[in-house]
Chains A and B, each alone.
Chain A
Amino acid sequence: MSRQLVAWIQAAPMAVVMLAFLVAPIAMIVIVSFWGATEYSIYPAFQFDNYQFLFGSPVTYTVFLNTFKYAAITWAFTLVIGFTVAYFLAFEVRSLKWQIGLFLVCTIPFWTSNIIRMISWIPFLGRNGLANSTLISWGVIDEPLEWLLFSDFSVILAFVHLYTLFMVVPIFNSMMRIDRALIEAAYDNGASAWQTLWHVIVPLCKPGIMIGTIFVTTLVMGDFITVRFMSGSQRANVGRLISNDIGLLQYPSASATAVVLLCTVLIVIALLLRLVDIRKEL
């Protein structure tokens, strides 16, 4: 058998899954986005009503803007926190054993349930939660803060909590590949710690930062459950727009929104991918 044929056979299962459960569903969504709907059924058609309605409604723009806002703020926080944590692990922790151990400590929550991790913020942030009662007992505030839970604050807090790992891992990976001689060279040439960080380490971490950025922005932009749960259904993003339509069985309208969301996400990724080649980084 030729090498080519063997490779195809080996790649076939992956390709089949991707075709059946990724490509076909997206094609289906695109098709259904032109369909029509009654209150309880959908029917094949070729009409632009769903898109017309979507782009004609001011809600759409507000919700998209809100989605970008969540993505941008979450990105900023996860980047700063993720970079700092990765820097500590890569450059301040010196034995490989400790590096791996502490790195695993950071990754373990990723393998547990996101929903439980969201729920677990309730005792902290609620009206009578830990945060409020602590602040009151310290005399910082007199009244419980209302904006801790079911607000933009709690939504972004949960995003940062869930997704910072996606920054830590790729940035740590980039940092571990930096030749330590480069850093010594910078110091030997009289660079300060900040100069070394900014002119040597950060540029060399760019691929990691980019991969983390792609992860975090796409996860946040596609999310619907965190926003729904952490805002107590009081805030909206595009994902919730879609899931609300699904709840009302308005699949064509949900599909149209999904198509627009997908295009938005793909544009964001395309812009980011121009800056880095993922395959070289693994």
Chain B
Amino acid sequence: MEKRSRTFYLLGAFFVLFVLFLYGPIFTIGILSFQGPQGGLTFPMNGVSMHWFRDLFQEQAVGDIWGSFRRSFALGLMVMVTTVTVSVLGGLAFRKRFKGASVLFYLTIASLVIPSILVSLGVGLIFNQLGLPVHWASSGYGSQLTWTLPFGLLIMFAVFNRFDKSYEEAARDQGATAWQTFAHVVLPIIAPSLLGVALFGFTLSYDEFARTLLTAGSYNTLPLEIFGMTTNVTTPVIFALGTLTTIFSFLVIGVFFLLVWVMSRRKDTTSDAGKGMV
């Protein structure tokens, strides 16, 4: 192996520092959530215990953590499925030029960069004036889609920009219908990217705060619950909760990566492409 330059080591050190900067704080609260029962929000550790985790699993003095977790989980799944479906359809639409395409494209980009509080406020106002109750599964769900769909669509753009059209042409030449071409040729090829869209859909929804703030109604999602806790909880129980939900996020991310890996392996080993002629 050729020798590395000094720049490599300098930049490598910078990179390591950056990663420490990214992950350091979250690991710190991971450690601090094992504080002893008398421990506070910062070091030193006052003994080591599972006290604060146990606290979470007991009947809560503050809020409804498990209820809000269930709601966030359900909402995450709803948003995930919708994001994948709508983004794929949108991606397909944008491949054919259609009237209004650029308007829709700029709307989607606007949806991404617009201050989140505007979505929250506007949706809240509309529901109020229409006399509809705000609820996480209606107004909250819609508001979150304005955050996840742009990511989904942008990923689909990236996917289809790199997509080799000759596969589709080959399928059509062999007499496949439009639906068959999509289901048996396009979809299997883009499937790993769809997992990426799903990952964005779920995690962005699960952690969404600003757009859900005024649109979730009286039943909080988990991030709202956690934010509520920051104002009135001064014990490491909030660290324990933060640690658990971060571990949950890591697990979700891990599952998605695992699925992508399994899929790409299957494609490598079980495909009979190229063998037909032998």
Contacts and interface: CB of A to CB of B under 8 A. Distances in A.
Interface of A: 3-4, 6-11, 13-15, 17-18, 20-29, 32, 81, 84-85, 87-89, 92, 102, 104-106, 108-109, 111-117, 119-124, 126, 128-130, 133, 161, 164, 193, 214-215, 218-219, 221-225, 229, 239, 242-243, 246, 251, 254-255, 258, 261-262, 265, 269, 278-279, 282
Contact of A111 (B89, B101, B117, B203): B203
Closest 3 CB pairs of A and B: A25-B122, A222-B115, A120-B25
Interface residues of B, number: 87
Given A215-B113, A262-B118, A282-B154, A22 B226 contact: no
Contacts of B277: none
B41 A261 contact: no
Interface string B19-31: 1011111101100
B170 interface: no
Contacts of B250: 108, 112
Given A25-B123, A129-B42, A11 B94 contact: yes
Contacts of A10: 89-90, 92-93
Interface of B: 7-8, 11-12, 14-15, 18-19, 21-26, 28-29, 32, 41-43, 85-87, 89-90, 92-94, 96-101, 104-105, 107-111, 113-119, 121-123, 125-126, 129, 142-143, 145-146, 149, 153-154, 157-158, 161, 199-200, 203-204, 206-207, 209-210, 214, 223, 226-227, 230, 238-239, 242, 245-246, 249-250, 252-253, 257
Given A114-B207, A265-B114, A29 B125 contact: yes
B86 A222 contact: no
A124 B29 CA distance: 10
A265 B115 contact: yes
A26 to B, nearest CB: 6
A123 B149 CA distance: 35
Contacts of B94: 11
B249 A246 contact: no
Q: Main SS of the interface on chain B? A: helix
Contact of A193 (B7, B28, B105): B7
A4 B94 CA distance: 11
B115 A221 contact: yes
A123 B269 CA distance: 49
Contact of A3 (B96, B105, B111, B204): B96
Contacts, number: 250
Given A115-B209, A123-B28, A282 B157 contact: yes
A242 B207 contact: no
Most buried by B among A84, A222, A239: A222
Nearest to A85: B18
A167 to B, nearest CB: 11
A269 to B, nearest CB: 6
B96 A7 contact: yes
B1 to A, nearest CB: 9
A85 B15 contact: yes
A62 B278 CA distance: 75
Contacts of B43: 123, 128-130, 133
Given A32-B125, A85-B14, A14 B104 contact: yes
Q: Quick one: which of A17, A27, A128, A164 has the most chain B CB within 10 A?
A: A17
Nearest to A158: B25
Contact of B108 (A14, A123, A239): A14
B143 to A, nearest CB: 6
Given A119-B238, A246-B214, A261-B115, A84 B14 contact: yes
A8 B99 CA distance: 8
A222 B117 contact: yes
Contact of A116 (B19, B113, B121, B226): B226
A15 B262 CA distance: 34
Contact of A21 (B142, B154, B257): B142
A170 B121 CA distance: 30
Nearest to A245: B121
A11 B89 contact: yes
Contacts of A104: 257
Contacts of A258: 115, 117-118, 121
Contacts of A128: 42-43
Contacts of B239: 119
29 contacts: A7-B97, A13-B85, A13-B86, A13-B89, A14-B86, A14-B104, A15-B107, A18-B104, A18-B111, A21-B142, A24-B126, A25-B123, A85-B18, A88-B12, A92-B12, A105-B19, A111-B253, A115-B226, A116-B26, A119-B238, A120-B242, A124-B28, A161-B21, A223-B210, A225-B209, A225-B210, A225-B227, A243-B117, A258-B115
